[in-house]
Amino acid sequence: MSDRTLPRSTPAAQGVDASGVHAFLDALEADPEIEPHSLMILRHGRVVASGWWAPYTPERPHLLYSLSKSFTATAAGLAVAEGLIRLDDPVISYFPEFEADITDRRSRAMRVRHVASMASGHDAETFDRAHAIDPEELVRGFLLLPPEREPGSVFAYNQPATYTLATILQRVTGQSLTGYLRPRLLDPLGIGEVAWIRDGAERELGFSGLHASTDAIARLGLLHLQDGVWEGERLLPEGWVTEATRALVANADGTPEGALSDWQQGYGFQFWRSRHGYRGDGAYGQFCLVLPEHEAVIAMTAATKEMQEVLNLVWEHLLPAFGPGPLPGGQDADTALGERLARLALPPAAGKAAPPERAEAWSGAEFMPYGGACADQPTLTAVGVGADADGWSLTLTEDGHRLALRLGGDGWTVQDDGPVPTAVSGGWTDAHTLVADVAFLETPHHLVVTCSLADRTFMARWRTEPLHGGPLHAMRAPRGSV
């Protein structure tokens, strides 16, 4: 997180009713399908409410999944301003080595603006098909897959389209996305450390994989709310934000349900239109929500499959809280809200201390996957439970890597000194069963590990499935990114 803090204000001074924020927090915390990790609310360019649910903290980066796309689109806006790319250039013109291979008329007609707006002409996601065509070069596989419709005529959420845009940017700049963005966007906005997952070609993915703080999300949203201007300096070309955040391609299905869906309001350059304002978002509840009509930005991270419900709660509770002017007499309510936000915490998993009568049996016990393999994490081959002078520990073993975790008391035990930042809660549910909830703190994901002493087996399940896969020791922001 940056040392340059955003301006702050009380909610009442910016016309925000604290009771609406309380109601939103109540609704989030009451829904068992939503696990909030962080929230920042900005009004009139000032932070009026912010909080992190322990064990999550302000400075820690969080995997943004497809919210990464909005950062990629912002890089595209900068590259357009510098004359490095043109939106109406054919995509194939940036890949002359594929010129002889790409013969389909529609593939050759695809423009940069089409891949930037998910309007390549394909009528469905192409990732698996493009990867099957060329496992080594996704752009080539994508371009070899003929679009079913004319480019620009149909919307389809399509990862290779954004990956192609990101590859073009990395080619014309000769840098990684983060390297290009650092002096042009990240430093001017005061965004500190970020990290982006790379593929086998050593390219930053563009369509996913960015790890950044909630503060970084808020700053991206505020830049767009301010039409690309930051502290009096224009960073994005004039008109870019308007173009990038309008409905460039329609995606509604015409049903009453579709009218209530925030995923059927149109799509811009890697930004979704919403029933109110527009947003970048990522799987499992990563949001950068911009509300120009209220001069507000809402940044969130979470772990939930119910992303539409999160937005429904925003519309129900936060929108009515945005008033036209300062609210007199709100000091007590603002103070109470600030105190609540400062003590936010996720409830730890239930569990008791090790049963004394079985402590000897548990100490040093090894557990194998129930049924011979762990379906949720096949590389996880063994779990060990141990005890020493510092207490109990859990060791997860996969492909020769051992992840040692401390089992603490009643709350979350945070561990930053291992290969991956984690927080663990839980304990023994009975003399024969140990349940540990392992939160991988730089991602939205928890792995729940259950050990059975009776048959020396374990089960492990993800609460939300990691979309990038990979081993447990890689469940963190990449280190050493430029």
Q: What is the mean pLDDT of residues 93-115?
A: 98
Every domain of the chain and the residues it spans:
12-82+167-342, 356-474
**For the sheet containing 296-304, what is the strand order?**
46-52, 34-43, 296-304, 286-291, 278-282, 272-273
Q: What is the pLDDT of residue 481?
A: 47
Indicate the range of 220-229, 286-295, 402-411 predicted with least confidence.
Answer: 402-411
Q: How confident is the model at residue 480 (pLDDT cuts 50, 70, 90)?
A: low
The answer to whether 419 touches 400, Cβ cutoff 8 Å, is no
User: How high is the pLDDT of residue 3?
Assistant: 56
In this structure, are residues 218 and 40 in contact, taking their beta carbons and an 8 Å threshold? Answer: yes
CB 34 within 8 A of CB 304: yes
The hierarchical CATH code for the domain 356-474 is: 2.40.128
pLDDT at 2 exceeding the cut of 80:
no
Residue 385, H or E segment: strand 380-388
Structure token digits, residue 408: 């603490």
For a pLDDT cut of 90, what percent of the chain falls above it?
96
pLDDT of res. 228:
98
Question: Taking the complete model, does pTM exceed 0.85, yes or no?
Answer: yes
What value does the mean pLDDT of the chain take?
96
Q: What is the pLDDT of residues 328-359, one digit of tens each?
A: 988 999 999 999 999 999 999 999 999 999 99
Angstrom distance (rounded) from CA 292 to CA 296:
6
Residue 83, pLDDT above cutoff 60: yes
Task: Label the pairing between strands 34-43 and 296-304.
Answer: antiparallel
Res. 40: pLDDT tops 80:
yes
Which range has the worst mean pLDDT, 3-12, 127-136, 162-171? 3-12
d(CA 280, CA 50) in angstroms, rounded, equals: 19
Please state which CATH number belongs to domain 12-82+167-342: 3.40.710.10
Percent of the chain with pLDDT over 70: 99
pLDDT at 482 over 50: no
Across the range 355-375, mean pLDDT stands at: 95
Question: What SS3 class is residue 168?
Answer: helix
Asked if residue 147 lies in contact with residue 107, where contact means CB atoms within 8 angstroms, the answer is yes
pLDDT in tens, 263-316: 999 999 999 999 999 999 999 999 999 999 999 999 999 999 999 999 999 999
Report the pLDDT averaged over residues 33-45.
Answer: 98
Structure confidence by residue, pLDDT tens digits, 409-463: 789 999 998 899 999 999 999 999 999 999 999 999 999 999 999 999 999 999 9
**Residues 6 or more apart whose Cβ sits within 8 Å of residue 300:** 36, 37, 38, 39, 40, 214, 217, 285, 286, 287, 289, 310
| Mean pLDDT computed over 172-181 | 98
C-alpha atoms less than 13 angstroms from C-alpha of 199 in its C-beta half-sphere: 18
In the predicted structure, residue 1 carries a pLDDT above the cut 50: no
Q: Work out the average pLDDT over 2-21.
A: 92
